Amino acid sequence: MNDANVDSNNNSETTDNHSMSLTSDGGLKMESTNSYTTVNANDFKREGDGILSTARTPFGNPATTLTKDSIITHEGMDMSLQTAHKLGLVSLKNGEYSEASEQPSSTQDEPEQDMSESMGDKVEAQLTELANMIPVDFQTRVAESMISNGKIDYQNMGQTLGINSVELQQRVGVAEQAFRNQADKVLMSAGIGKEDLQGFVQWATSNKGEEFKRTQREQVYGRDTRGYQALARAYLNANAPAVSSIPESYKPRTLRDGTTLVTLPGYPEMKLQVATKLGLI
């Protein structure tokens, strides 16, 4: 075996025929002193645009061999291949990982669900009656007033329309509650608890103002509630539950850097943020 000379200052090692050194991005650079051939660990990055193309070692280098501890990135979240396999994001056969032929329902585009019938025929009939009672331009004023200001001047509107303001408020109140119930149903199905609905509204108003208004308009004018599901995912991703509220059975533990890990029944240990975003908590 050839003797090796090590330069501790440059993190490099030299043999009679080759020299090796660490690059600034953590790669391994090997040069042949005979032919001056350079090989970098980043050259081994996996090809393709699937999940496995993001695979890397726990130290951040491209993974030449896939193991349960290899790290992949899915929708901005880092997780081990063991976790990804448990969630159905990748396949494992004969000890080898491969791209999953189909993504699980939890990772598909859930907003495509049609929630237009969730109000029920009775409520839809009441909305139709209200629409026949109020001219189209005033219907828009009512909707925009609620979306933008959260309130309606029933006194002035009643006088303008020649309708008793109390009766108008009662009829519009039915519609308002119906839309709120519909939105709540979608939000809860997306993983937001009933006790967090008001918190969601406050968060969406402060952090996603224009998107929240657009979502409400799509709901009122087109009975399209898909926007609420996208907002719900953003809310859950930004507002993971407090560690104190996590059941002990999930074995929560917090690392020195503040990252909280949980172990859910049937799943390997994962970040609390990942579990929350995937709807597991």
40 falls within a domain: yes
User: Residue 15: is its pLDDT beyond 80?
Assistant: no
Q: Say whether both 136 and 210 belong to one domain.
A: yes
Q: Say whether both 139 and 232 belong to one domain.
A: yes
For residue 113, name the pLDDT band (cuts at 50, 70, 90): very low
The pLDDT value recorded for residue 225 is 92
Mean confidence (pLDDT) of the chain? 76
Q: How many domains does the chain have?
A: 3
221 falls within a domain: yes
Amino acid present at 106: S
Q: Which two tokens stand for residue 201?
A: 């509204």
Q: Say whether both 35 and 128 belong to one domain.
A: no
> Residue 232: exposed, middle, or buried by beta-carbon count in 10 A (0-12, 13-18, 19+)?
buried
The pLDDT value recorded for residue 37 is 47
User: Residue 13: is its pLDDT beyond 60?
Assistant: no
Q: How far apart are CA 139 and CA 146, in angstroms?
A: 11
Q: Say whether both 155 and 227 belong to one domain.
A: yes
Amino acid present at 60: G
142 falls within a domain: yes
The pLDDT value recorded for residue 136 is 77
- Residue 33 structural domain: 5-44
163 falls within a domain: yes
Q: Say whether both 213 and 259 belong to one domain.
A: no
Q: Say whether both 191 and 230 belong to one domain.
A: yes
Q: Say whether both 142 and 166 belong to one domain.
A: yes
Q: Say whether both 183 and 169 belong to one domain.
A: yes
Q: Say whether both 150 and 224 belong to one domain.
A: yes
Could you give the 3-state DSSP secondary structure of residue 167? Answer: helix
